[in-house]
Structure 1
Amino acid sequence: MKIGIVTDSLANLGLDELLAFCAEQGIDSVEFAIGNWSNSPHLDAAALLESQSKRQELKSKLLHHGLTISAFNANGNSMHPTDGERQDAVVRQAIRLSEHFDVPRVNLMSGLPAGAAGDSMPNWVTAAWPPETHRMLDYQWNEVAIPYWRELVSYANDHGIHQLCLEMHGNQLVYNMPSFLRLHGAVGDTVGLNFDPSHLFWMGGDPIEIVKRYARHIYHVHAKDTYLHPGNLAHNTRLDHLPMDRFQERSWSYVTLGYGHGESWWRDFCYWLQAGGYQDGVLSIEHEDINLSRREGVIRSVALLRNCMPTETPDFELPS
């Protein structure tokens, strides 16, 4: 396995500083966030698409620092009822950039439609009752999501991209394995997972159990941790909408690797990824810890991954 980083984790650095820091830390690859929920602090996607010389300049800088691109990231809501067209355009920029840079994948979210035609806000259905929830889900899946994703898969494939990697995330239509498998079943193998255990922690899932069962669907991995606050969970539940900066009051918060789940957990996680065939894959660090500096958080995360992840191809042979 290799260590990567989501470039927004070091949004306080310029591009040249970012690449130099990654090389200094022995990071292997970068995952460039190019828009939507990111302000794209390091790249101008439109300029790169327009200019071969700008693309070559970026390729030269990456080569100089011994770095590759693991993915272009366009996280957002491309099925938003009022802003979806703009956000979808960013997704398609990411697909075209991936084609130009010979990157096989794009990382994104599934998106979340409105609950009904004419609504202006997305609607995340989290329960089976009251009865209108089923009508909402039928509209979201059959009238919006499946047609949109079938067309997007076709667009990606036409540009030579065969891995659209989704994070299972709250406030998205795809947030757990049943919802992922529903979309995958409708549109095929181009849709896989950008597997981020931190989201499953707060939603109550078991990331390692998912890796054991569904490793074939994992095309990319985000390395991010979540701290679960037992006392606050007792009365807030996991569905907590307090602002992220109210760390001491929240049920859960994103933290630096090892500060939510110890090194032994991350060792098991990496071990089962390797067992599932993710031997040459990237663990892309995503730092969103408000209590540690970006620099310190990334340095500590790199150190933990180095202690936990396999770096060589298995070569054990059973005696004949």
Structure 2
Amino acid sequence: MKLGVFTVLFSDKSLEDMLDHVASKGIEAVELGTGGYPGDAHCKVDELLADEKAREDFLEKISSRGLIISALSCHANPLHPQKHISKEADELFEKTVKLASLLGVPVVNTFSGCPGDHEDAKHPNWPVAAWPNDFQEILKWQWEEKIIPYWKEKAAFAEKHNIKIGLELHGGFSVHTPGNLLRLREACGPAIGANLDPSHMWWQGIDPVESIKILGREGAIHHFHAKDTIIDQGNVNRNGLVDMTPYTDMKDRAWYFRTVGFGHDTKVWADMISALRLYGYDYVVSIEHEDGLMSIDEGFTKAVENLKPVMVKESVGEMWWA
């Protein structure tokens, strides 16, 4: 396994300065944003698609520092009911898949998206209650008319380019649990998998180790994020886990993100890494920093320090004792 970082946290640095910085910390892989919510500070998709020499230079800058690219990421909402928003996200996704194929990067990460509740809707509608039955009708329409048709087409497109799609299981988007990821995968094929982020499991009440087992049995983990979450039970009692309190109001939120080791201890992270290996994941653990209590560099550095001791670097090979 390799320790990586989602480089959006260093968007203020040039590509070269960012690569030097993360390599100096012992990072082995970079996950690069191509647009959408992550931005494109370190990976200009149009420029790289248009110029083979630019791609060669780009890859050389990365490989010369002993790094690989774990994934290209274009998180956005390709199912947004406002067509200009969904069209832009869709075009970015297809460009990112094409670029990943040309660069030899095996995974493209994104969100599933979330549609509206009818053809003329203006905003996404994320049903979170099984009753009243209106919500079930909305959910059925979304999956049958929007989610499955769209991702069936994109899975075929990705397979054509030998790319795996890592959907981040994130609240506010239609695919946000292991169960509905597997539902989509069954409908659309094995190109669909998870960019599994335990921080979004915790706040939904899902045990990340169990989510690894559920998805790992199906070979459905394509990429893995390392980010922690703390649950503030007092605020859960007041607001519930589906909490609309702004992220900036940390004292009043039911949960908020922390850097690795500051929401859950080393044993919990060791259990997750071990479960990943047990179920066949031997790829990159990519640090994502969204900790409102630490600077970027402090949070990133502590995440590296806390993950290094629990990373499994060598497979056992033959069990000599068995």
TM-score class, shorter = over 0.9
SS in 1 for 2:115: coil
Task: Please give the alpha-carbon distance, in whole angstroms, between the structure 2 residues aligned to 1:237 and 1:5.
Answer: 31
Q: Deviations over 1:128-152 (max 9, x none)?
A: 1111112211210111111111111
Alignment-derived partner of residue 298 in structure 1: 300
Cα deviation, 1:149-188, whole Å, max 9, x if unaligned, reads: 1111121122222x11111110111111221121111001
- Structure 1 residue 298: Cα displacement: 1.0
Q: Does 1:229 align with 2:236?
A: no
1:110 aligned to 2:112? yes
Runs of 4+ in 1 over 3 A off after TM superposition: none
Structure 2's unaligned 5+ residue stretches are none
Instruction: Give me the whole-angstrom Cα distance separating, in 2, the residues matched to 1:195 and 1:38.
Output: 17
**2:10 maps to amino acid:** L
Match of residue 158 from structure 2: 156
Q: Distance in 2 between matches of 1:47 and 1:109?
A: 24
Deviations 1:82-104 (A, max 9, x none): 11011111111110111110111
User: Once structures 1 and 2 are overlaid, which stretch shifts more, 208-217 or 232-241?
Assistant: 208-217
TM-score where L is the length of structure 1: 0.96
Work out the CA distance in 2 between the residues paired with 1:169 and 1:314: 33
Q: CA separation in 2, counterparts of 1:288 and 1:204?
A: 20
Which ranges in structure 1 are unaligned for 5 or more consecutive residues? none
Equivalent positions of 1:64-79 (< 5 A) are: 64-79=64-79
Kindly indicate whether the alpha-carbon contact (under 8 Å) linking 2:178 and 2:214 is maintained by their aligned counterparts in 1: no
Alignment of structure 1 residues 16-95 onto 2, 5 Å:
16-82=16-82, 83-95=85-97
Q: Pick from 235, 243, 254 the counterpart of residue 257 of structure 2.
A: 254
Instruction: Determine what percentage of the aligned residue pairs are the same residue.
Output: 36
- Root-mean-square deviation (CA, aligned residues, Å) is 1.2
Q: Secondary structure at the match of 2:293?
A: coil
Q: Displacement of 1:319 after TM fit?
A: 4.8
Number of aligned pairs?
Answer: 318
2:129 is paired with a residue of what secondary structure? coil
Q: How does 1:175-190 map to 2 (within 5 A)?
A: 175-190=176-191
CA distance in 1, matches of 2:148, 2:213: 27
TM-score, normalized by length of structure 2? 0.96
Give, as a single letter, the amino acid of the residue that structure 1 aligns with 2:234. Answer: G
Amino acid at match of 1:80: H
Instruction: Supply the distance in 1 between the matched residues of 2:321 and 2:104 (Cα, whole angstroms).
Output: 41
**What are the equivalent positions in structure 2 for 1:97-246 lying under 5 Å apart?**
97-161=99-163, 163-215=164-216, 216-246=219-249
- What is the rounded CA distance, in whole Å, between the counterparts of 2:175 and 2:275 in structure 1? 23
Aligned residue for 1:248, secondary structure, equals helix
Q: Which residue of 1 aligns with 2:289?
A: 287
Deviations 1:297-318 (A, max 9, x none): 1111111111111111113525
Secondary structure in 2 matching 1:47: helix
String of CA shifts for 1:248-281, please: whole Å, max 9, x gaps: 1111111110111111110111111111111x31
1:44-95: CA deviation from partner (whole Å, max 9, x where unpaired): 1111111112111111101211111000001111110111011111111110
Amino acid at match of 1:154: A
SS of equivalent residue, structure 1 residue 81: coil
Specify the code of the residue in structure 1 equivalent to 2:95.
Q
